[in-house]
C-alpha cells in the first residue's frame, strides 16, 4: 500500500450493519406461550419456566418444541 501515514481509508468506514436490535436476546422468549409438537403438530400451553422440551405432546407423547 502506498504511503504509510496511517490515513488510508482501508477498513475505516462507518460502522457497517449491526445497527440496533442487538440486545443480546438470542431468542424471543416470551412469558408463557405455546409449545408445538414436531411430530403431529399439536400445540399445548406451558407454564413460564417450563421449557417445551420437557413437555410431552398430549396427543402422541413426543417431546415438544417452542413454537
Ligand atoms: Zn404430538
Residue pLDDT, tens place only, 2-56:
667 766 666 655 555 555 544 444 455 555 689 999 999 999 998 888 899 999 9
Cα-to-centroid distance, 65 and ligand 1 (Å): 10
Q: Convert the chain into a string of H (helix), E (strand) and C (coil).
A: CCCCCCCCCCCCCCCCCCCCCCCCCCCCCCCCCEEECCCCCCEEECCCCCCHHHCECCCCCCECEEC
Let me know if residue 26 belongs to a domain: no
The residue segments making up the domain with residue 36 are: 32-67
Let me know if residue 19 belongs to a domain: no
* pLDDT at 25 (0 to 100): 43
* pLDDT at 8 (0 to 100): 63
Let me know if residue 51 belongs to a domain: yes
Tell me how many domains the chain contains.
1
Cα separation, 42 vs 44, whole angstroms? 7
What pTM does this model have?
A: 0.52
Cα-to-centroid distance, 22 and ligand 1 (Å): 34
* pLDDT at 47 (0 to 100): 87
Let me know if residue 64 belongs to a domain: yes
Cα-to-centroid distance, 44 and ligand 1 (Å): 10
Q: What is the largest CA-CA distance in the chain?
A: 71
Amino acid at each position: 500500500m502506498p504511503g504509510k501515514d496511517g490515513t488510508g481509508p482501508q477498513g475505516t468506514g462507518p460502522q457497517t450493519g449491526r445497527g440496533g436490535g442487538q440486545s443480546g436476546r438470542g431468542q424471543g422468549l416470551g412469558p408463557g406461550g405455546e409449545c408445538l409438537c414436531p411430530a403431529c403438530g399439536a400445540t399445548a400451553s406451558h407454564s413460564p419456566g417450563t421449557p417445551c422440551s420437557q413437555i410431552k405432546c398430549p396427543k402422541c407423547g413426543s417431546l415438544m418444541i417452542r413454537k
